[in-house]
Amino acid sequence: MDDCIFCQIVAKKIPARIVYEDDDLIAFEDIKPQAPVHILIIPREHFPSLNEVPEERKSILGKILLIAREIAREKDIALSGYRIVLNTARDSGQEVFHLHFHLLGGRRMSWPPG
């Protein structure tokens, strides 16, 4: 996936401020943070969005959530609160078509989202 910016981050072809990585996942700071803590957590494997994650790869989804929880603890926002966002396809505003979860925290957020 040479034209995918997040695949290039996975391959370390473009830099990112990585906060966590293992054999399946990588987590890094968003380049345009929308909150004091704004981390993106992505699978190393390329899926354009949640819509394309096959049933046999479903374990990656739970793993991402548990790593997000762990990062929230490390960033000291677990108790104050945080939001995990998964934009999917056009109406959500998804801009990068490599599955990614946003972890946002460190400020009070409003509801509903825009």
Write out the catalytic residue numbers.
100
Nearer to ligand 5GP, 31 or 73 (CB): 31
23: Cα within 13 Å, side-chain hemisphere? 0
Nearer to ligand 5GP, 39 or 77 (CB): 39
Closest of 89, 69, 55, 67 to residue 23, by C-alpha: 67
- Three-class SS state of 38: strand
Tokens 């992505």 correspond to what residue? 42
Give the x/- contact pattern for ligand 5GP in 11-50, rule: CB under 6 A. -----x-----------xxxxx-------x----------
Structure tokens at 87: 């934009």
Q: Is 7 in the site for Zn ion (CB under 5 A)?
A: yes
Return residues touching Zn ion (CB under 5 A): 1, 4, 6-7, 46, 98
